[in-house]
Amino acid sequence: MIRFNKLSILAVAAFGFVLVSCDKNDTPGDTFDTSGTYMQNDQMGRPAVNTVFNASADKNTFNVTTPSAMGAIFAPKFLNNLVALDAAIKANDPTYVQYSTNALGMSPQVLTTTLATDVLGVSMTGATSLATLTGRNLTDDVIDIELKFLIFGGTDGTKNPKLTSDNVNANDKPFLATFPFLAAPF
């Protein structure tokens, strides 16, 4: 029994050694498979768009719709969903200040039309932040930005304070000043 185990261990070790040495002998250009056609699975532009504004039945379709085709299909749905959400909150909480325009001056139609094409706009000429719709930094508190300036904060971002910040304003670890910028894993 012991002899059998020792042989098995040696066999595994030898096999493992062969695999390692094959890998080390590979040179770039030999092993990468670049053949074939890749088919879309998931897609994302701005944070939380698919999840906030699409009913569950539409989420899958959204993920396999090209951005240039999204507006015509999803802008009307997003608008209906925003209006329904707004009304439902008012029915639950009479103190809720309903949506008229947001702090960026967007009517319900303009907001939902903008978000329905799920592309993140990024400035090439300066600082980038979701707060100014010029990109998305690791440090951006995207939840507060969207809740306060896009959806619930009213015309100046100060309305509905119970709904416009989750009071989680920073990541659990500091980011790095150098590439790759994301913090080491837990």
Question: Does 162 engage in binding with other proteins (CB under 8 A)?
Answer: yes
Residues 78-107 that bind other proteins (CB under 8 A): 81, 84-89, 92-93, 95-96
Q: Smallest distance, Å, CB 2 to other proteins?
A: 30
Per the structure block, which two tokens stand in for 158? 């100060």
User: Which one of 4, 24, 66, 105 is in contact with other proteins (CB under 8 A)?
Assistant: 66
Is the CB of 5 or the CB of 66 nearer to other proteins?
66
Is the CB of 102 or the CB of 130 nearer to other proteins?
130
Choices 2-10, 42-50, 97-105, 106-114 (CB under 8 A): range interacting with other proteins: 42-50
The candidate with the shortest Cα–Cα distance to 162, out of 182, 144, 138, is 144
Site string for other proteins, 121-150 (x = CB under 8 A): xxxxxxxxx----xxxxx--x-x-------
Choices 1-9, 10-18, 36-44, 105-113 (CB under 8 A): range interacting with other proteins: 36-44
Choices 5-13, 39-47, 97-105, 107-115 (CB under 8 A): range interacting with other proteins: 39-47
Is the CB of 5 or the CB of 125 nearer to other proteins?
125
Cα torsion through 104, 109, 114, 115, rounded to 10: 100
Is the CB of 5 or the CB of 92 nearer to other proteins?
92
DSSP 82: H
Per the structure block, which two tokens stand in for 61? 């379709």
Q: How far apart are CA 163 and CA 86, in angstroms?
A: 12
Contacts of 37 (CB under 8 A, 6+ apart): none
Question: Does 25 engage in binding with other proteins (CB under 8 A)?
Answer: no
Per the structure block, which two tokens stand in for 71? 């507006």
**Distances from the Cα of 153 to the Cαs of 36, 93, 111, 164, in angstroms?**
48, 15, 13, 6
Question: Does 23 engage in binding with other proteins (CB under 8 A)?
Answer: yes
CA 158 to chain centre: 25
Cβ atoms of 100 and 82 closer than 8 Å? no
User: Which one of 4, 24, 105, 170 is in contact with other proteins (CB under 8 A)?
Assistant: 170
